[in-house]
Structure 1
């Protein structure tokens, strides 16, 4: 097997590599940015991708959709975000599994085996949250594009438009225009209302 690990934290990639070495002799490739992962996926066939959502340059949800264009390799999301809106959007974008970074190594290995074998796996606690979540806030955000959701996440974290522009590698005017479009899509006029919807849906 050839597995690609996509995470901007070296310590996470190292931990995953050691964990995989315990159960498999797979060839492990690593990428710390979305653009690096796209270059690797384009250059060679992969058997599985383990993907973080919180990446520099290119958000994980947008990246997930692009990676699907390069082949059928199943994608397991491993993220610090366990909120239902992220899980739902990742699965809609083509992920076969979703795990939080708080999951136990044993459950992560179970997910890797199941997803690499063509199945699906969602961490048990996350699956329960999906069942219990209120559909109203999630429905409000369902119409947003991956980049919209990425900007909303930065806003909910208290970042200014300038800081968001720098984090995403975009111009200030582009971010400002996107924020205006997000407000229009969600039917609000104030940033405070925008943040309220984000928090209600668990975007953070």
Structure 2
């Protein structure tokens, strides 16, 4: 089955451009377009959707609130479209449940790869943008999280809930490397194991910490203090 994609942006030209790029992909189908967040929520409620490409700044209901509603109702996964001119919007979108970010000037191949990755339950964790964003997100939001022990850590800092099951030392290693923005292939090389083994570890980690995808795992790891936050 084709990946069903909804395009949400207040600029018709942007939506048309993305639709044109996706129209040549056999495994991607644009099921509809919306010019604001409220229309986007209505669209994915009425038409089965796998992935939403969501702008942030729109009149009326913005992309953050639309993302929150879509994720809360488990209607689709959301990729935030951004120019990074308002990072505070991006942080809020992550907390709302977005599965990742894509620059509006991304190459067509990047757009398609992002849609396929998110549809498959993965996330957009490009080290050059997402890790920095998430680090700043959790730095500002940690104080709002209930203080409980971090998983597998002998530390006095308590910022996140314990996992449903204890993480093994290897799973903890994998979580840290995921939080540093590494792909499965890169983690396999770092730990000298097969990529299929890494996939298994990642799946176990997500299940144990109750994360929907790698984005949530990265947020969890940063909140737990497992990864040093950048100073810049």
Mapped pair 1:120 → 2:123: yes
Q: Structure 2: how far apart are the matches of 1:2 and 1:135?
A: 31
Structure 2 partner of 1:146:
none
Higher relative contact order (CA 8 A, sep 6+): 1
1:162-177 correspondence runs (5 A): none
- After TM superposition, give the deviation of residue 54 of structure 1 in Å: 0.7
Alignment match of 1:28 (pick from 12, 26, 31): 31
Higher helix share: 1
CA distance in 2, matches of 1:76, 1:93: 12
Q: CA deviation at 1:106?
A: 2.4
SS at match of 1:89: helix
Cα distance in 2 between the residues matched to 1:21 and 1:4: 13
Aligned residues between the structures: 142
Alpha carbons 2:117, 2:123 under 8 Å: kept: yes
CA contact (8 A) 2:77 2:119 kept: yes
TM-score, normalising length from structure 1? Answer: 0.59
Which of 101, 119, 133 is the aligned partner of 1:130?
Answer: 133
Structure-2 residue corresponding to 1:19: 21
CA deviation profile, 1:33-68 (whole Å, cap 9, x unmatched): 112112212222212111001111012111111122
Is 1:86–2:95 an aligned residue pair? no
State how far apart, in whole Å, the 1-side matches of 2:143 and 2:57 are.
18
Match status 1:46 vs 2:49 = yes
From the superposition, tell whether residues 57 and 142 of structure 1 become closer, same or farther in structure 2 (CA, over 3 Å): farther
TM-score (norm 2): 0.53
> 74-83 or 46-55: which moved more?
74-83
Partner of 2:6: 4
